[in-house]
Amino acid sequence: MRTRPSAWGRARSLVAPALLLLSAVAVAGDGLVQVHEDFSKDPGWEAINNRVVGVGGPMVRQDFGWSPGEDGRGAVGGEIWSTTTPATYGMPVGPFDLTRRLSASGKVAIKRMSARSGAYFGFYNSTRQGWRPWSSMMLEFGKLRPKFALKPIGPGPAAAVNLIVLPADWRSDGVSHDLRIPADGKPHAWSFVYEPKARTAGGKVRSQITVQVDGEKPYRGLPEVADLSEHPAVMDRFGIVNNQTYGDNMEVYFSDLMVNGHKVDLTRDPRWVGQGNRAAYPAWSFHGRHDYGFVETNWAGRGPGELGGLLWSTEMPDPTYGYYADDIGRLRQGLQRRRPARLGDAVRLLQHAGAQDEGLQGAAGSIHGAVRRRPQFRGQDLDGLLRPSKGPGQDTPGPAPVSARPPTAPIRVQV
Q: Report the phi/psi class of residue 299: left, alpha or beta, with left for phi > 0 and alpha for psi in -120 to 50.
A: alpha
The pLDDT score that the predictor gives to residue 233 is 92
SS3 state of residue 229: helix
Burial of residue 373, with CB atoms counted within 10 A of its CB: 0-12 exposed, 13-18 middle, 19 or more buried: middle
**122 touches 211 (CB < 8 A):** no
Nearest alpha-carbon partner for 197 in 96, 100, 105? 100
The pLDDT score that the predictor gives to residue 31 is 64
CA distances from 21 to 410, 411, 414 (A): 12, 12, 13
Nearest alpha-carbon partner for 102 in 206, 240, 235? 235
Q: How far apart are CA 130 and CA 341, in angstroms?
A: 31
> Beta strand 367-376 with 379-387: parallel, antiparallel or unpaired?
antiparallel
Provide, for the chain, the percentages of residues in helix, strand and coil under a 3-state DSSP scheme, each rounded to the nearest 5: 0, 45, 50
| Beta-carbon count within 10 A of 400 CB | 10
Domain 59-282 is in which class?
mainly beta
Nearest alpha-carbon partner for 286 in 124, 55, 110, 119? 55
Q: How far apart are CA 406 and CA 14, in angstroms?
A: 8
| Beta-carbon count within 10 A of 273 CB | 14
The pLDDT score that the predictor gives to residue 316 is 57
Peptide bond into 95 cis (omega under 30): yes
The domain limits of the chain are 11-54+287-413, 59-282
CA dihedral sign of residues 219, 222, 223, 229 = positive
Kind and range of the H or E element at 62? strand 59-67
Q: How far apart are CA 234 and CA 369, in angstroms?
A: 36
Per-residue pLDDT of the chain (415 residues; tens, 9 = 90+): 333 333 333 445 555 544 433 333 333 345 666 777 888 889 889 888 888 877 777 789 999 999 998 777 899 999 999 988 899 999 999 999 999 999 999 999 999 998 889 999 999 999 887 777 889 999 999 887 766 666 666 777 888 899 989 898 878 777 777 888 899 999 999 999 999 998 887 788 999 999 999 988 888 888 888 888 999 999 999 999 999 888 889 999 999 999 999 999 999 999 999 999 999 988 776 667 788 899 998 888 788 888 888 887 766 556 667 888 887 776 655 444 333 333 332 323 333 333 333 333 344 445 555 555 444 444 445 555 555 555 554 444 444 343 433 333 333 333 2
SS3 state of residue 257: strand
The pLDDT score that the predictor gives to residue 387 is 55
Q: Beta strands of 68-169 (E only): which ranges?
A: 75-81, 88-96, 102-112, 119-124, 136-142, 158-166
Q: How far apart are CA 254 and CA 266, in angstroms?
A: 10
The single-letter code of the amino acid at 240 is I
**247 touches 130 (CB < 8 A):** no
pTM value is: 0.67
